Chains A and B, each alone.
Chain A
Amino acid sequence: MEFKVNSKEFERLLTKIIPAVPSRTPMQILENFLIEIKDGQLTVFATDLEISLKSSLNIVADSNASFVVPAKLLYDVVRSLGETTLNIKVEEKGKLQLTTDSGEYSLSYLDSSDFPEIPSFPGDTVDQEDLKEISINGEELNTAFLYTSFAMSKEEMRPAMMGTLFEFIEEGLRFVATDGHRLVNMLNTNIKHEITEQYIIPERAISVLHKVLDEKDVKIYLSKSHVSFVLSDIELITRLIGQRYPDYKTVIPMENEFLLHVKTKDLHNAVKRMMLFSTSNTRRVKFSIDGDNLEISAEDLDIGASGKESIHCTYEGDPLTIGFNSAYVNDILSHIRAEEIILKLHSPTKAVIVEPKDNKDNLDLMMLLMPVRLNN
């Protein structure tokens, strides 16, 4: 069979799907695209067994076909062509013939039956029981990911933390991410729904979604084991993390009565400079707060370097000296997107609440940071 496609349109399609192709995998077949031509529609699939992506394009074709081609090679070839009409011929004996005005390229393809089954959703391969459905604006989701995704854990010790919690509650949708040392908790009250469950979406799905989301609405189908995000031109299906999310509510301190107001930029710049002086293995910075003065200091015993800076703040509370991992402070300050922030403190060993001074409409953002103990 044979069909024609505009090279630029084909490239755009492949660009959307390539993020699901794993770069290193023991299952070589996953390094391929599954391409299906059915009733004048060309659909490209890719999966790493955790997430799968699918997107389609209308073409003129005389018959149906499905085959598996090396993803990176096909993508690189199509990307290098410039705008032209690409004639694709699926020959027998496993050869795919690509022809342009000036060139002929031949690729090998494999039989599509070797490719793992892609869950179709909502459809018959996924458990339909308890299937929930909701529509959320792409921007709202993207904003939530911007605020929360950095805090997800990268350590496989606690799999539940390697994703973002979507907690559907009466007030809206709450997003929670934590690695056990810091936690971001963001409630969006704009999102209306009638769901009462919670789901843990894996980090890979979040990072791929983050790249493809736009301002259009996203249709989300939630089952007990999988979630499907249907965008206007692409569909992402991901496995859910089937673990219990840690009970984050119990670690949010109630008694943090010392309030520190500070300009985000002032604090951030000082912390970035102190990071240069902190010991590379602990990255410790010290905050000494007394009256309206916040002193930030760091030292590296190994190379004999140290630094300190004072910045102006407003503080209501007892003098306090508290240590942090400077990389975590830097993360929080890079993601909080507020001109002024409030730190709510209690003692040198208890969690610190970091909040924007003014929360945006319909967004309730709270970050938690565990200190580092300065002495035993």
Chain B
Amino acid sequence: MRTIFHLDLDTFFVSVERIIDPSLNGKPVIVGGDPKEGRGVVAACSYEAREYGLHSAMPIKQAYRLCPNGLYIHGHHDEYGRYSKAVKSILEKYAPMMEQASIDEFYMDFTGTKHIYGSMYDFAKSLQKEIWDQLQLPCSIGIGGHKTIAKICSDYAKPNGVTFVMPGMEKEFLAPLPVETIPGVGKVTLEQMHNKGFYKIGDIAAMPQDYFAVAFGKYGIDIWEKANGKGKQYLNPPQERKSISKERTFSKDIVNQKVIEAKLFELTGKVCQILRDRNWQTTTISIKLRYSDFITLTRAKTIPATDDDKEVFETALNLFRKAYTRRVGIRLIGVHLTNFSEFSEQEALFEDEKLTRKKMFRAVNKIRDKFGYSSIGFLPEGKS
């Protein structure tokens, strides 16, 4: 049996905002869109706000109706990343293996460390204390034999608690909890569950697996297994993924598609410059798109290995045009390259257009290395 920790930072965005502005303490705080403009959703809300029935991902307009006296703030998103990194570096001191599941969630595998850290429960408490002492961030920790139970435990422990389920007691622990506790059971599934009379996890566990396979398909088997205390024992291997990325947050939200695409072109030029300087080629190109309401999309595509601005830009542009479907302003755009191979370019016997362009980019690189990125640029076709 393994020992998996799931650490979840309580109302993370709100906690960070309270560090920046302590006057927010004890008040209903909502991070997300602007309720006056009526756009966007709740990105995070404090426990005080939850008492009004608010929850994350709720449309901001609805939140405002429920809690008109709440403190609505746009949020300091760059700070969140900084604090998340700080938490990670504390955990890294102790955890032999870690998987960061999101900006405020960490799985750690502490199997076999009892002789070093002592009682796992007390150790979790000390971790919690260290994070609070150093960063003033509250967190909850769940400990169990696999990832699913650890996650359910950390949820159960909120706010600021520790829950430890003894190995072998998973089923008993889960039985009285409501079905929506199971990670992955959303609104739609929950309604279906209720319609069929399943309210507690124990109700699910008591049914034969075949029933769930028939009633909910493959997804049903997954839920049934989780309800019976089973789950994934191993963390996803630490991904030491090399990547090159550039992002730009606009000073005000941009609606003009031309402006966004021009920025995308500039960012592509910059990442390709780095790519060529490292003597690499990329095969996977991703774009990141954040709307003004913080809804963020990433889209990726794999192409044959290249370091050619044109190929990378065309791929990124296609991804962007497919992804940009809402009539909402764009706050951030980014380009991200991964899956590299060492530079390797087949020379050709007979010159063609592609080869000529490659030579041109090689020259452009040299000029930019020497005189800076903006020393040379491209004119739109047809202009000279």
Contacts and interface: CB of A to CB of B under 8 A. Distances in A.
Interface of A: 178, 180-183, 246-248, 251, 279, 281-282, 284, 299, 301-302, 323, 325, 349, 351, 368, 370-376
Given A183-B349, A373-B346, A376-B365, 18 more contacts: A181-B346, A181-B349, A182-B349, A246-B349, A247-B350, A279-B344, A281-B305, A281-B341, A299-B342, A301-B342, A323-B344, A325-B346, A370-B348, A372-B344, A373-B347, A375-B279, A375-B343, A376-B343
Interface of B: 276, 279, 281, 283, 304-305, 307, 339-350, 362, 365
Most buried by B among A180, A279, A302: A180
Per CB-CB distance, the 8 closest pairs between chain A and chain B, nearest first, are A282-B344, A370-B347, A284-B344, A373-B345, A251-B349, A375-B279, A372-B344, A246-B350
Given A281-B304, A281-B305, A372 B349 contact: no
B348 A376 contact: no
Nearest to B346: A372
Contact of B348 (A181, A247, A248, A284): A181
Contacts of A351: 347, 349
Nearest to B279: A375
Contacts of B362: 376
A249 to B, nearest CB: 11
A247 B283 CA distance: 33
Contact of A368 (B279, B304, B339, B349): B349
Nearest to A351: B349
Contact of B283 (A181, A251, A281): A281
6 contacts: A180-B349, A181-B346, A181-B349, A182-B349, A247-B350, A372-B345
B343 A373 contact: yes
A174 B362 CA distance: 38
Contacts of A279: 341-342, 344
A376 B339 CA distance: 18
Nearest to B341: A279
A178 B348 CA distance: 11
A376 B360 CA distance: 12
A178 B342 contact: no
Contacts of A325: 346
Contacts of B305: 281-282
A350 to B, nearest CB: 8
Given A281-B304, A323-B344, A376 B279 contact: yes
B359 to A, nearest CB: 11
A182 B350 CA distance: 10
Contacts of B343: 373-376
Contacts of A374: 342-344
Contacts of A368: 349
A370 B342 contact: no
B342 A282 contact: yes
B347 A349 contact: yes
A30 to B, nearest CB: 34
Contacts of A246: 349-350
Contacts of A375: 279, 343
Residue of B342, B349, B362 contacting most chain A CB atoms (<10 Å): B349
A246 to B, nearest CB: 5
Nearest to A284: B344
A316 B279 CA distance: 30
A253 to B, nearest CB: 10
A368 B347 CA distance: 12
A333 to B, nearest CB: 18
A368 to B, nearest CB: 7
A330 to B, nearest CB: 15
A302 B341 contact: yes
A247 B350 CA distance: 8
